[in-house]
Amino acid sequence: MRSTPLTRRDLLLQAAAMLGGCGLTARAIAGSCVAPDGADASLRESLHYVVSSPDAAQRCSACAFFSDPSGSCGKCSIFNSATDASGHCDSWAARS
Ligand code: SF4
């Protein structure tokens, strides 16, 4: 138990630690292939992005907007960031 009162600096450090933890949690939910700053989170949500496509034939890896595959990630030109090759969203379009 802490015997001295919390300083403003202590509170700021604790708040920063809590926000950092929230970012990690959000990234874990979104998947491993996301924009480093999470800037695409609202677009992913609005397009109902999922890390694992319910239809194997409609994965990001087979989408016209997917490029630059590297490991389990690639680049989505809709999100303008990395996406999981196994993912899916409402904007999926077959490659021609
Ligand atoms: S637009 Fe295509 S590549 Fe981008 S997230 Fe949606 S399904 Fe995946």
pLDDT score recorded for residue 38: 85
How many of the other CB atoms lie within 10 Å of CB of 65? 17
Atom of ligand 1 nearest to the CA of 93: 2
Q: Is 63 helix (H, G, I), strand (E, B) or coil?
A: strand
pLDDT score recorded for residue 7: 54
> Ligand 1, atom 6: nearest CA belongs to which residue?
89
pLDDT score recorded for residue 55: 97
From the CA of 7, how far away is ligand 1's center (Å)? 47
What is the model's pTM? 0.70
Task: Catalogue the E-assigned strands of the chain.
Answer: 66-70, 73-76, 81-84
From the CA of 40, how far away is ligand 1's center (Å)? 12
pLDDT score recorded for residue 76: 96
pLDDT mean for each 10 residues of the chain (96 residues): 54 42 45 82 94 97 96 94 95 96
